[in-house]
Chain A
Amino acid sequence: MITALAFLLLLPLLVFMPLAPPAVALINPQSQHFTDEQFHEELVVRPLAGDHVNTYFQFTTRWHYGTRNNLYHTQLTPRVIAEVLQTYDVKELHIGLTQGLWRYESWGYPIVEATGGAEMWAWFSAPNLSNDDVDKQWMQLANVFSGVLCVSLNFVDNTNTIAPKHIFRPQFMHTANRSQQFVRYATLPREIVCTENLTPWKKLLPCGSASGLATLLNSGYVHNTKYHSLGVKVRTLCDTDDPNNCIVELTQTANLVYDLKLLEQSSTDFSLRRLFGMGLNGNCELASSSKIYVQRSERGEQFQLVPPPQHEVTSTRGGYTAIYAVYDMQEQFEGPGARLFNIAWVGPKSSSSSGSNKERASLPPLYAHRYLLGNGQKRGRIATEITNTHFDALPIIVMELVPWYVYAYLHTLRIRSKPQHRHDYGAKELKFSLLHYAPGKQRELSTHLEIGFMLPARSSALITIEVDYLLLKWLEYPPDANHGHYIGAAVISSQLPTGRNYTALPLEGHLFRDSYNASRPAYTLTLRTEALIVSLPTPDFSMPYNVICLACTVVALAFGPIHSVATKLIIVERQTTMPRNLLRKLFHKLTNRAAKPTPTALPEQNQQQAANQDEETDDKKQSEKQSSCNTPTHM
């Protein structure tokens, strides 16, 4: 407990930063001199290392609904969102639908984080809310969004949900009483994200896909990228003094990474038209602002922009300077007449600079990988490797969600460290500063593990935990059982002292321009690792499987007798007086049994009588005639 507290003191910002700033942001001029609903659309284009281009769309709707007590009359905000917030006491909601994996080592950090598949987490807060209520509301919420976004979020239930303890901090104005805040987190790593999610996602926008930047999001092009991630983030910001004076903020993001080599062109030039299949036909008429930001620093340096930008902005954040060219779409489309707007990036022609393009990107301060070790279908080890390339130690929190079909053994949890340049891990271990462990329960709960520790400068940490794979019941295997089962990504959080590679929006901001010059003492960074596939012991669901089952049954049945034959002593009694005739044999047996108390053979006369006495206990080979006529006398 003391160590945990001490650790939290190391991270004061992680806990307290969200508390203060939103209050400032909330009561700023915009809420006073605008009408109460606003929509902004933004596009950020960043050339990345290795001929990749990141395009980030952000559509923000902000509704200062003030003291209204119902949210049924919406203008720009989709009603479903506003309504859901109130119905289920949701204060903050994040949904991410992602295909692919963000490569930190070569691409730096994304503006918004997401893990592969579907990911969802939400904060609930209301007076008199209990844990059970939240569980129920969480499932209902997931079901609603399963319909809204056409995702299988309806599979979110208590078996794959956890309540993170340290890693997520609320981004809304929360009341001082933390006992009234509840958070739930779930991932569906197997979810495949496709057009069917993009279309409903676009429908949430005020202009839909009719005009504005959203027209660029054509599924044919969006899904040919190396990484695409759709995000929905909703939060409610309320005045600390007046809890009824609130803002609903809906941020929809689409984060794409294009691989220029896949566009099948020889040069490194590209354009909006090349990336999205068409130019821009205008801005969304409902938008208060509509801007395109193009990164001119780093990889962006070598490109010439056609047309040249209207103006450039230099932003210094955490000792790291970035230059952005800004295109204002509202200015661009001011005049009458239809036209298409396109930006082209013209790369350098000389071959020497194309060589420099191939050089490796400088590694970001912190990155992580996860993999499964061990062979066989019985047990394995989950290993999470976190590397700190920074010159100072970094505080790390890791959250693992291990599904119920994999048993994790806490006593095998180890954090080993090595200097960054070495390849293998020695026996040197790091100490936990914080450990939260909620054991899983078969078919009911997944294991939830949160670990906090300090990662020394320029070193890597390998967190390993041993797991056993469970043999499932035969109906619990999904279709394509041999594909394997997924273990969701680990979430890793830290506080970076520098702004290198860091592009996320500050907590209190809601537009990309809010990240200009947003220097802070520390930057909260959240990373996601790869998901894992484990092959659980899978029966061969086929004819041989049935044959094996049958054969095993036969063996099991035969085992008893064979065992007794092999272990029992067989003593054969020789009966010399046994008659040959079958009928007589029977007769002989009967008489023998009757005479058991007195082992000597009965005389002939008594035989009939003895038979009658013992008749009911005898087997049915006894002639029926005899039994039918004799029973009355006994009764």
Chain B
Amino acid sequence: MGLLSDPSLSTHNKLVDNLAKHVRKVCYAFYTAGVVWFLCLALPEFNHGTYLSENALSPGLVYPEIRIDANRLAVQLLEELQRERKDHQSTTPHAWILAKFNEFGLETHTHNYSLRYPFGGGKEFHGKNIYGILRAPRIGSTEGIVFSAPYRAPSSVHVEISPSVPLLLAFADFARRKNYWAKDLIFLVTEQEQLGMQAWLEAYHDGDKTPDSSNSYLLSGNLPARAGSLQAALNIEVQDLEIDYVDVKIEGLNGKLPNLDMFNLVQRIMAREGVTSGYKQTPRKKRRSSLSNFEQNLRQMLAMLATQSSGVPNGNHGLFHRYRIDALTISAAKRVTNSNVKSNPTSSAVPLLKAIEGIARSLNNLLERFHQSFFFYVIVHNDRYISIGDYMPALVALVACSFIKAYLTWSTLDASAIVLSQETIALKPDTKSLKLSLPYGSVLIYLAVVLLIGYLANVLPLQHYILELPLNAAPLTATILIALSLIGFVLPFVVILPDGGLELLHISLLLIYGCTLIVIGLLNFSLGFFVGVLTVPMVVALNTSTRNSTLRSLARVWTLLLNPLVVIYIIVLVMSFHQFPELTMQQLLLRAATAAMDAAAFALVDSVIYGNWLYFAICTIFLPIWIICWTLALARRRGNEIHQPKLKTN
């Protein structure tokens, strides 16, 4: 072990010197390698075909028993529900759902929850979930599976998915007559999109919280009945009983994914029942594209990363993942009427019902929780995936740049400092080691101040005195964020670091940046990777000792452009440009500004209610890092300012 700590190793060896000359080339080479590696993953040689690891699932081992009468029941229930919906324009027909669950012989309960919305003067919303539990004959209520269907009132802005409730009910009625269930089945109808689901899950797992003592915003209450430890969940969103295709949604909160086995299971059973299904499945017309295999794969990958990176779940399933319950959504799209495929309305939902039955029976077979297959993966195609071992090198290559640079900066600190001191005619020749005399204290204080700014952005918008201001959530959050970024923007002009402080700050920036990026990448690969791709070149380009002024001003502009708020604004701008191409530039800019403000507020609400850490990451990690980058980008100019008075005194 002495090998690594041999004191005779000089920091001035040839390797370091040579490397130091080519840092940029090395770093950009690593960067390119990372990106290229990632692109290569879309090639079939670099990814793998999916397979089922968990033998207990044995999909399709049993013949589906669900028959046309279940479909008939679903059709009949849908008609009843449509009648009910006329009376309930903006509410859920709770009584009807309750009555149906009771009729089918399920143990039925309701769950009330309320939300104390913190912004806009504080409002309180109430909601109600309904669930029926099928007590399995083969178990003493120690394990359960959840089948959930969100209910949307007719006044909802989202796509109508009311047939999912009749479908769920029809399956419940079928399941009630079977004696092979070895896990309690919970049939859950939630309202108010993800809020209802979040409240239900919180009540299930933290039902003993006292409402007054906790300062949480979602008061989930307690559940009257439970079904042991939940093993898996299937969320059903069906637009119509006659379906065109099924889109399997997997991305969950903070980019968590269900076990790959669960996705495979759904894919296989759907294929067996002849239902067109896939990950990010699109309608037939769009699917017929002339893209090459590689391009298709790459698009799929990027689409997945894009959804995953925001950390917002794209369905109710996403909230389960936090409790280690593997869940996904099967979202069935309506068949377009002019389709030339003839269908029989009396049996149209049978394949889907059969698929649900098949999934339920496979999950019922599970002896252990999902643990065999991957939890971290990227889907390339419906039956191909990239495992964490394959995609991590791309991120590691990106992050490696910052570490390499940090090491080299540290190693060459002596040399550069000597050069610097010679330039400035330092009058202290007795300083033996410059590293010892570096201004650690002031750099630490600077870092702490910068982190404090980030922390404030996280905490301030939720303080009572700020919430009492007569402002809506969006302007409030945006104002605080902009104000804090402005402080960060001004900070380098005001605070002057002592000699060598910039170099030290640079090293600490590189280290902090590398570490946070790798940690974020482990938790949510997509976010880490995108941030890496965007910012690594800038971080590499930053150089406190560059003398080329055009390069420096370029770096400054670049840094300014990469301010988290600016990035968010640009992303929103591009998205709104795609969505509303008819708008003029001015309208577009304005619209994007309001949308970005909303996005900030939504992210804050998400982090408060659902535990999404994107807002936290941006405020507490990316904003401070940006401030440090900005400080470094300004470095040279301020350096001159310092030098001039020094010279004068001399």
- In the complex, what's the smallest C-beta–C-beta distance from B215 to chain A, in angstroms? 14
> Chain B residues near A569 (CB, 8 Å)?
433, 436
> Chain B residues near A374 (CB, 8 Å)?
205-206
A72 within 8 A of partner (CB):
no
Assess the A483–B226 pair: CB atoms within 8 A. Answer: no
**A381 to B138 CA separation, bound complex (whole angstroms):** 26
A2 within 8 A of partner (CB):
no
B206 to A, closest residue via Cβ = A373
Interface mask (B1-19 → A, CB under 8 Å = 1, otherwise 0): 1111101111100000000
Docked complex: B176-223 residues within 8 A CB-CB of A: 176-179, 205-213, 219, 221-222
**A376 to B229 CA separation, bound complex (whole angstroms):** 12
B225 within 8 A of partner (CB):
yes
B135 within 8 A of partner (CB):
yes
Assess the A570–B4 pair: CB atoms within 8 A. Answer: no
Assess the B7–A423 pair: CB atoms within 8 A. Answer: no
A33 within 8 A of partner (CB):
no
Assess the B4–A562 pair: CB atoms within 8 A. Answer: yes
Assess the A480–B368 pair: CB atoms within 8 A. Answer: yes
- In the complex, what's the smallest C-beta–C-beta distance from B3 to chain A, in angstroms? 7
Assess the A383–B207 pair: CB atoms within 8 A. Answer: yes
**A374 to B11 CA separation, bound complex (whole angstroms):** 52
Assess the A423–B222 pair: CB atoms within 8 A. Answer: yes
> Chain A residues near B49 (CB, 8 Å)?
none
B176 to A, closest residue via Cβ = A261
**A576 to B631 CA separation, bound complex (whole angstroms):** 44
Assess the A530–B222 pair: CB atoms within 8 A. Answer: no
**A13 to B13 CA separation, bound complex (whole angstroms):** 90
- In the complex, what's the smallest C-beta–C-beta distance from A164 to chain B, in angstroms? 21
**A48 to B208 CA separation, bound complex (whole angstroms):** 32
Stretch at the interface among B29-37, B140-148, B444-452: B140-148
Docked complex: A359-387 residues within 8 A CB-CB of B: 369, 371-377, 381, 383
Question: Contacts A103-B135, A225-B137, A483-B369 given: A530-B177 contact, CB under 8 Å?
Answer: no
Stretch at the interface among A53-61, A510-518, A532-540: A532-540
B103 within 8 A of partner (CB):
yes
Among candidates A484, A558, A560, A571, residue contacting B369 with C-beta atoms closer than 8 Å: A484
Question: Contacts A369-B225, A561-B4, A565-B5 given: A533-B208 contact, CB under 8 Å?
Answer: no
Assess the A568–B5 pair: CB atoms within 8 A. Answer: yes
B226 to A, closest residue via Cβ = A371
Interface mask (A256-283 → B, CB under 8 Å = 1, otherwise 0): 0001011010000000000000000000
**A250 to B79 CA separation, bound complex (whole angstroms):** 59
Assess the B208–A381 pair: CB atoms within 8 A. Answer: yes
Question: Contacts A116-B140, A262-B137 given: A564-B323 contact, CB under 8 Å?
Answer: no
A38 within 8 A of partner (CB):
no
Count: A-B pairs, CB below 8 Å: 138
**A564 to B436 CA separation, bound complex (whole angstroms):** 16
Question: Contacts A424-B211, A427-B212, A565-B5 given: A259-B222 contact, CB under 8 Å?
Answer: no
Assess the B179–A224 pair: CB atoms within 8 A. Answer: yes
Q: Which of B11, B224, B323 has most chain A Cβ within 10 Å?
A: B224
Assess the A262–B4 pair: CB atoms within 8 A. Answer: no
Among candidates B138, B176, B222, residue contacting A424 with C-beta atoms closer than 8 Å: B222
- In the complex, what's the smallest C-beta–C-beta distance from A528 to chain B, in angstroms? 9
**A530 to B140 CA separation, bound complex (whole angstroms):** 7
B229 to A, closest residue via Cβ = A533
> Chain B residues near A227 (CB, 8 Å)?
137
A464 within 8 A of partner (CB):
yes
- In the complex, what's the smallest C-beta–C-beta distance from A454 to chain B, in angstroms? 21
B139 within 8 A of partner (CB):
yes
Assess the A423–B224 pair: CB atoms within 8 A. Answer: yes
**A564 to B7 CA separation, bound complex (whole angstroms):** 10
**A569 to B212 CA separation, bound complex (whole angstroms):** 55
B384 within 8 A of partner (CB):
no
Assess the B221–A423 pair: CB atoms within 8 A. Answer: yes
Assess the B10–A572 pair: CB atoms within 8 A. Answer: yes
- In the complex, what's the smallest C-beta–C-beta distance from B236 to chain A, in angstroms? 23
Assess the B324–A375 pair: CB atoms within 8 A. Answer: yes
Assess the A262–B7 pair: CB atoms within 8 A. Answer: no
A81 within 8 A of partner (CB):
no
Assess the A427–B140 pair: CB atoms within 8 A. Answer: no
Assess the B205–A482 pair: CB atoms within 8 A. Answer: no
Additional 4 contacts, C-beta under 8 A, given A483-B369, A531-B142: A224-B137, A416-B210, A424-B221, A532-B229
Chain A residues packing against B (C-beta within 8 Å): 50-51, 98-101, 103, 106, 116-117, 224-227, 259, 261-262, 264, 358, 369, 371-377, 381, 383, 416, 423-427, 462, 464, 480-484, 486, 530-535, 538, 540, 557-558, 560-562, 564-565, 568-572
7 A-B residue pairs with CB within 8 Å: A100-B139, A103-B135, A259-B137, A423-B221, A427-B213, A535-B229, A560-B1
Chain B residues packing against A (C-beta within 8 Å): 1-5, 7-11, 102-103, 105, 107, 111-112, 135, 137-143, 176-179, 205-213, 219, 221-222, 224-226, 228-229, 322-324, 367-369, 371, 433, 436
